A and B are shown apart, each in its own frame.
Chain A
């Protein structure tokens, strides 16, 4: 692939070195006791590049970035800024050297305004110690205008959507003159549309000379935006890749073995409809209808995927089925038995397998052993218990076979479940729920925070459960996952069912439906290209280049812009 930035990065002119920054990690090793999180990692981030660190969860990407950001001291190795070794003793040092970081979980004070948040830690004061926010406000406006951020400096952070909050984090870094921006899994919390907007912003920042270290395991985004890809596996750099490489090749490199990304899924053979939801309404304690008059049914041997942006009633819907919600109206029939008003235990015992969306909070007890977590909903049933007497031997025996069957990577079933990686935790939850005869299987966000290798495995298990003739309901905010698994797709918006569409429905139409536009309108809207549709389409056609005639025209930036604009067009060609 093209490497257009090397010339500009190697310019030795002192005045340019102030503007741009070359970052090098040399032989970084970070040990936590016996665990080797980073093993002699070498990474060079050239100026004005989007450098992607690709790796599974737990591969050591975040550790490496925390070393770079001064949060951890490396056991070995050194960091070089513009070929000079430096040592960061805290984020303050890193910031002073021009490195900014946007964490996966934002570090913002919700009740402060944007300006206050940006000023925090570097407040300028007027005479008498009064806070001078004017300066900060002006800078925010400036940056916001330059990149089209559309951020109001006086808005309260808690009122802003997640995507805008993320921009505030980016502004925070830019105000402090960050030349290298580290984005740690930035798209995990975003809707598909917001993700595309973020990728645009990244391209703009790049053409303005800011380098970006982009940490991700989502291949589509990585391919869309990166200049260079460094793949990390088990704490080691396993090689570099080109954005042009195939998704399968990237995934295989990341996981260390051949990965089949396209799910081998036979067409559904739906049998009789055994799960029926009619006019289901869930009322929150504040009187709000979180689920509003939903009706749908699922046949045996069919996967219904529920799509929607997070917080549109998905959680409440699953909780209502499980019996966790207090005020539920309507009817939920499983095999013609009413589930509304039954206890959780009754619902589970009637054959419902449930994978909650937040496994560490609702699905597992972190301090309990893996073995005990594997019987969390069956501890009182034979063979694990006779009367009230439990058999630890049987519990452990069960754990051994489940750990083998689901390939949970752990030395022992006696280990605390909280010490497992996200993917392995999810496997434990799945193993528990799928290891008994089911009449209905509900999985909420079945692969959130799970690495590619595990996703493949978990998806296969879900499809296998369908093929056994179980009705399956998947709730996911990841459109890719929905499209991958679904036989039919139901879209939720503000607690209402926007529609149920067949599996082949396009990403753009689904994206619009997730914004509340009914299918028919979505399809036609798409044709006439409304504002939103244009953005959605942008996701589909990522080959659209960033306009080279952006409004930033400072001298150095313009030069940078020229350097980047030419390859930009060809990057995705």
Chain B
């Protein structure tokens, strides 16, 4: 051991030790997750599974802050802080004040603070509550917009999360939304049925469309062993170009229109607006809540969900226990497709009321992020969907009020996922590594230091 290392070793004796505790704990979780490396890890974190992990944090406070869900919250917080710095970096006033940073550093710091907070306040006003509005109705309009945008994110996110739980990386929500949108829209504008029945049929058509498109992937995977990631990506392309083709055929193109846009859906075929015509928020949001409850029940209280989870966590053990893995694969992809299909219906029958080739926007891809942020649990996905809905809704307001580019929100979204993927990193940054111990007694560390070089 080089001499210059020794004093450092005395001072920070506790530090490497703490790190090793964190590393050992991570290793312990990984060991449970992968049966000591014998099986490949699942996409779902071990802490989101049914089995509790022992030896958790000792105090209540620590328990709250190191609980697995908190990592998601901290990841969001961290991403917002970094996003704030990015906003500041593009801010003009920050640039000017940095010119005389050393003369008056307070100017610079307050400029940074102002730039970030102004943007985030605008983001909040654009997504939750706008105090400058005239009357409650207008003040809460942003929240309604957030819920509207969150609706397709939640249902598609649930689809992705459910597939995750069964060990399938479903990238195909985008295609499933599109196929559902095509069928739902067609039923909506081409058929003319009585009120109630028409909407029901629109909903069923969309769900069936998504379920078929997803189920087909499951079938191919189960029968041929083709990888679901490749399948779903390709199915996304097929769905998108199929939609573009259809929008140029007489059956789908609006009469007298050269743009690829469908006729408007019949009034009998669209979701009713929940709080009246002043907001876009529609029945789809209520259905998204219902879907969340349903998925929760399916995963935690049904035999089907038990199979999904078993196949996802350890397919070999599931097979040995007599679970039909192929059937589970097909079924879970069909249900995932059906959930994504609800997003498609929400788009054509709720928000847009027409079919265009932008029907799915990027909801299908954002759904993956939403599911990851929600740790593949139903209510986690619901909350993550709301958050992303808020980002989307608020980003516009943020750009209008402060000139901060919308892209910054996308960066924040990406940072969130980045931090979610590395929970120990987030915990380390916030100093929340569980089971941290008091430094060893001074005498001991002294001793360790003096003998440290012996070997």
Other-chain residue from B58, B306, B322 in contact with A344 (beta carbon distance below 8 A): B322
Q: How far is the CA of A366 from the CA of B306 in the complex (A)?
A: 14
Binary contact track B280-312/A, C-beta < 8 Å → 1, others 0: 000000000000000000001111101101100
Q: How far is the CA of A388 from the CA of B303 in the complex (A)?
A: 5
Q: Which of B123-131, B133-141, B387-395, B446-454 contacts A (4 or more CB under 8 A)?
A: B446-454
Q: Tell yes or no: A343 within 8 A of B by CB.
A: yes
Of A73, A94, A392, chain B has the most CB atoms within 10 Å of the CB of A73
Q: How far is the CA of A363 from the CA of B310 in the complex (A)?
A: 12
In the complex the two chains form, is A364's CB within 8 Å of B317's CB?
yes
In the complex the two chains form, is B303's CB within 8 Å of A379's CB?
yes
CB distance from B314 to the nearest CB of A (A): 4
Binary contact track B306-330/A, C-beta < 8 Å → 1, others 0: 1101100110111111111000000
Q: Tell yes or no: A419 within 8 A of B by CB.
A: yes
Q: How far is the CA of A417 from the CA of B49 in the complex (A)?
A: 11
CB distance from A180 to the nearest CB of B (A): 13
Q: Which of A82-90, A116-124, A158-166 contacts B (4 or more CB under 8 A)?
A: A82-90
In the complex the two chains form, is B33's CB within 8 Å of A324's CB?
no
User: Cβ of A372: which chain B residues have Cβ within 8 Å of it?
Assistant: 50-51, 306
In the complex the two chains form, is A366's CB within 8 Å of B35's CB?
yes
In the complex the two chains form, is A414's CB within 8 Å of B52's CB?
yes
In the complex the two chains form, is B35's CB within 8 Å of A360's CB?
yes
CB distance from A77 to the nearest CB of B (A): 9
Binary contact track B28-70/A, C-beta < 8 Å → 1, others 0: 1001111110110010001001111111001000000000000
CB distance from B365 to the nearest CB of A (A): 27
Give chain A interface residues in 377-395, CB to chain B under 8 Å.
377, 379-380, 385, 388-390, 392
In the complex the two chains form, is A362's CB within 8 Å of B317's CB?
yes
In the complex the two chains form, is A348's CB within 8 Å of B322's CB?
yes
Q: Tell yes or no: A267 within 8 A of B by CB.
A: no
User: Cβ of B452: which chain A residues have Cβ within 8 Å of it?
Assistant: 87, 89
Q: How far is the CA of A179 from the CA of B72 in the complex (A)?
A: 50
Q: Tell yes or no: B440 within 8 A of A by CB.
A: yes
Dominant secondary structure at the A interface:
mixed
Give chain A interface residues in 344-366, CB to chain B under 8 Å.
344-345, 347-349, 354, 356, 358, 360-366
User: Cβ of B1: which chain A residues have Cβ within 8 Å of it?
Assistant: 89
Give chain A interface residues in 92-106, CB to chain B under 8 Å.
93-94, 96-97
Q: How far is the CA of A366 from the CA of B314 in the complex (A)?
A: 8
Of A358, A361, A377, chain B has the most CB atoms within 10 Å of the CB of A361
Other-chain residue from A76, A324, A388, A392 in contact with B319 (beta carbon distance below 8 A): A324
Q: Tell yes or no: A254 within 8 A of B by CB.
A: no
Binary contact track A326-348/B, C-beta < 8 Å → 1, others 0: 00000000000000000111011
Given A31-B437, A35-B55, also A380-B319 (CB < 8 A):
no
Q: How far is the CA of A391 from the CA of B306 in the complex (A)?
A: 12
Closest residue of B by beta carbon distance from A375? B306
Of A32, A87, A89, A380, chain B has the most CB atoms within 10 Å of the CB of A87
User: Cβ of B322: which chain A residues have Cβ within 8 Å of it?
Assistant: 343-345, 347-349, 377
In the complex the two chains form, is B320's CB within 8 Å of A324's CB?
yes
Q: How many residues of A contact B (CB 8 A)?
A: 60
Q: How far is the CA of A415 from the CA of B24 in the complex (A)?
A: 19
CB distance from B11 to the nearest CB of A (A): 16
Q: Tell yes or no: A115 within 8 A of B by CB.
A: no
Binary contact track A157-185/B, C-beta < 8 Å → 1, others 0: 00000000000000000000000000000
In the complex the two chains form, is B39's CB within 8 Å of A361's CB?
yes
User: Cβ of B277: which chain A residues have Cβ within 8 Å of it?
Assistant: none
CB distance from A350 to the nearest CB of B (A): 11
Which 10 residue pairs of A and B lie closest in terms of their CB atoms, listed nearest first? A416-B51, A418-B32, A345-B322, A360-B35, A93-B455, A367-B49, A33-B435, A377-B321, A380-B303, A369-B51
What 6 additional pairs, Cβ within 8 angstroms, besides A86-B451, A360-B35, A361-B38?
A: A34-B435, A35-B55, A347-B322, A360-B38, A379-B307, A390-B302
Measured CB to CB, the residues of A under 8 A from B are 31-35, 72-73, 75-76, 78, 84-89, 93-94, 96-97, 322, 324, 343-345, 347-349, 354, 356, 358, 360-370, 372, 376-377, 379-380, 385, 388-390, 392, 411-412, 414-419
Measured CB to CB, the residues of B under 8 A from A are 1, 16-17, 20-21, 24-25, 28, 31-36, 38-39, 42, 46, 49-55, 58, 300-304, 306-307, 309-310, 313-314, 316-324, 434-435, 437, 440, 444, 447-448, 451-452, 454-455
